[in-house]
Amino acid sequence: MKKKKLNIIDIIVVIAISAIIGVAVLKFAFIDKKSGLGVKQAYKDLEYVASIVNVRSMTTEAFHIGDKVYDEKKGTYMGKIKDIKVEPYKVNEVKSTGELVQAEKTGYYTVFLTIESTAVDKDSGYYLSGTLDLKINSEYEVVTKFVKTTAKVTDILANK
């Protein structure tokens, strides 16, 4: 048999395979697995309140304490429902005298969900499941086992 000589393609393949093995060893052996970049992240238990406005009674009855809540767009787990408060939905109306009053809209409700979750506490805010930025007045398309709707975060209650 003839002896083969090494050519440039063989050398490039050997270098590429060595680099892939080196990166894999570095990632899995030396970098902190929880944070991904070796930076310590502080996980914090928190509760936040989300409001769902202008919904009918069918939607209000579809929420149950203990239901898991997910963000529809990213599929991110947002927490578990701890408390549910339902109030009549109110709209601003102008009376014939020109006075502005709040009146209840018959058959429509506002739902306040208190959701408990664990979030990453960073300088820029709280992140649910490490990726979903949780901020007051942010709206999310939320999904539970029984309902899909839009919720607006109205309050964040961080536990120390």
pLDDT in tens, 69-110: 999 998 899 999 999 999 999 999 998 999 999 999 999 999
Tokens matching residue 60: 């209000």
Amino acid making up residue 20? I
Confidence band (pLDDT; 50, 70, 90) for 30?
Answer: low
What pLDDT does 38 receive?
Answer: 46
**Burial class for 131, CB neighbours closer than 10 Å (0-12, 13-18, 19+):** exposed
pLDDT in tens, 127-145: 888 788 899 999 999 999 9
Of 30 and 109, the one with more pLDDT: 109
